[in-house]
Structure 1
């Protein structure tokens, strides 16, 4: 893949993994539940769930030292100690998590988690996650609504060179178990693919991804 992609990926990783909020997040939720009394998810996200529910969620994250470091920083912020039995106990008691809609739609996206203390999040962390039930590399199919197919671009911009077209109904494969996703300022998702040709495709708006579906759907 082009060097510009590598640089962009590095910048994207830094952006994603640095999204640890070291300040309290004010909410209007009830003291015991970040979902609030209306129990409605924020646009683009699932409802918050308690930490113990993560065990059976088929979600994996924490792929790098940066991920792990951010997790330890969050423990320090929340509890004043790191990787101790007491910190682990408090984590089980206070941590909540939620997923963005991309994970259900294309198999990869973000998980956000944090410590809910005294009716507010004292800190949160947002990192890349993927659905482990989909196998090693998520398979995406171009939706029939995309009449002219999807253009494969050399880079994640419509100004880059056209490398080919994936027709409606055809399958594309990502580069790894966690899709490489670049989200633009206007909330469009670009996904790096390995086949049928290496390049980038535009899957649609983040949280919607109207151009593709998981192959199992």
Structure 2
């Protein structure tokens, strides 16, 4: 199943979801340089202005994992909102890539995805039952995922009890509830 995110629109992450406290990625440090001058000036073209460049080297730990419930109970609109949330948060916090795992009765690892790719068109695998624990285990045991990388679990609440050893949060639609008391933070989307 292919979902067009642009058809449903991307959520404004700063208003809809306050993940900034949960996944505290520091802003990317930029420095001014005259090596390549800025072209963003029109009022005083004779005065050289510096451009801003990334210092770099801080991107290794700037990622998080997403376990996305793709069971039959999640409709297309909710999946599009969830993917839009992932994309807009990643762009807002300069996260270069997000590890995405689709889960229904088993886990489907989509690997690292760049936010622009998530915001366009995503081929969602699944649409069966709901067993999210296999996706969480896949992320926690992955050798190419940071040991302290946080996990965002997006579901409609129709799942079994989950055991998550890392820092994590749940994202549910309004009006839905988890069948257990979550240990991580709980956020809602419209």
Judging by fraction of residues, say which structure has more helix: 1
Higher relative contact order (CA 8 A, sep 6+): 2
The alignment's TM-score, normalised by the length of structure 2, stands at 0.26
Judging by fraction of residues, say which structure has more strand: 1
The alignment's TM-score, normalised by the length of structure 1, stands at 0.24
